[in-house]
Amino acid sequence: MKIAYLMHTKQELPSIMKVINELVKQDDHVFIMVDDNKERDDFMIAYSHDRRVHVSHTQEFAQEGDMSLARGTLLQMKEAIEYKDAEFDYFINLYDGMLALKPRDEIVAFLEQNPGDYYEVEKTEQDDPSLKKEAIRCYGYTNMLDFPTKQKYRKKSKHLASFLYFLHIRRKLDDPVQLGSPWFILSSDTCKVLAEHFAYCSEYFKLSWYAEEMVIPMMITKYLSNPVHVNDDKRVVGPDGCWVHSQGIRPISEEVLNRFPDALYGGAILDTEQPELFEQILPIYNSTYQKPYEVPIDNSGFNHMVDSLANATIKVK
């Protein structure tokens, strides 16, 4: 089994590099959006010869709570599907500070024995009709850098959405609204369909409130005829261990991690904030794997240059 990890980071290279090196050690791949321009350049230099690490360029920046994060993740999915040198069986998204809690062979064995698409849907508009009203409102300020954490911008965004709704400026969204965790483990077949229809996100979720918590389940319902949906994102996140709407990923304690023994991934666990817990959890993913980390040299550019020179027509004056 080969896994494509879809990542988004605001961390500096030394911190996130530890995580990436663990994830690709057994020849899985990482597709990563790096928000900071300088850090993105550093990533490209650091991994220039490692074909398992792909720095996103079609969309380079993403913002929690804004359409850009959902759209960027779908574009990463599309890039992974179109990658010619590897075919991926599962696609797993990880945000800053989210680590694997089980050895890779246990995760692979679990997915082989229990195939399906793992994502959590908390409620639908059938359960809560007010969900539709919230989903079709247009929220400004979601692309502000401080939007996820500053109540000032979040309040302004909601006030503006109410005002625009009063003026009948609303999103046209006929599909049934579903709301759930933004984290997923999706099969290749499902991701191929989502990648084919990635423009759905841009078309219907501009100025949306936490599009990443709606897009995936809504697209699967719309475009897949018989999805094998497991209503569990297999994550333990935040101080209570469970995803909370519009709060993103938050720090977690070892005590909470121990309360969810079946979780495959968890966080946030950052080496800059919880170094001891980070160093304890990070090696688990490759704890049953003995081979050293190796950088596979990609000579495709060199070979292309040689082929071009070999096929060139030399003109003599």
Assess if residue 146 is contained within a domain: no
Assess if residue 199 is contained within a domain: yes
Q: How confident is the model at residue 115 (pLDDT cuts 50, 70, 90)?
A: very high
Residue 310: pLDDT above 60? no
Radius of gyration of the chain from its Cα atoms, rounded to whole angstroms: 21
Q: Determine which of 23-27, 82-86, 272-276, 301-305 has the lowest per-residue pLDDT on average.
A: 301-305
Number of independent structural domains in the chain: 1
Answer yes or no: are the C-beta atoms of 114 and 35 closer than 8 Å: no
Answer yes or no: are the C-beta atoms of 265 and 94 closer than 8 Å: yes
- Full domain range(s) for residue 33: 3-136+171-289
Q: Quick one: average pLDDT of 136-165?
A: 89
The overall average pLDDT reported for the chain is: 89
Residue 316: pLDDT above 70? no
Assess if residue 125 is contained within a domain: yes
Domain of 26, CATH number, reads: 3.90.550
Q: How confident is the model at residue 308 (pLDDT cuts 50, 70, 90)?
A: very low
pLDDT for the residue numbered 91: 98
* Residues contacting residue 91 through CB under 8 Å, at least 6 positions apart: 3, 4, 6, 77, 80, 184, 185, 186, 187, 188, 191
Residue 7: pLDDT above 90? yes
The 10s digit of each residue's pLDDT in 28-39 is: 999 999 988 888
Q: How confident is the model at residue 299 (pLDDT cuts 50, 70, 90)?
A: very low
Assess if residue 316 is contained within a domain: no
Assess if residue 223 is contained within a domain: yes
Assess if residue 151 is contained within a domain: no
Q: Which of 234, 245, 236 is nearest to 268 (CA)?
A: 236
Q: Quick one: average pLDDT of 113-136?
A: 94
Whole-prediction pTM = 0.89
Task: Show the DSSP H helices in the chain as ranges.
Answer: 13-23, 37-46, 67-82, 104-113, 130-135, 151-166, 188-196, 199-204, 215-223, 254-258, 275-281, 300-311
Answer yes or no: are the C-beta atoms of 243 and 256 closer than 8 Å: no
Assess if residue 145 is contained within a domain: no
Residue 302: pLDDT above 80? no
Assess if residue 117 is contained within a domain: yes
The 10s digit of each residue's pLDDT in 13-66 is: 888 999 999 999 999 999 999 988 888 998 899 898 899 999 998 888 888 999
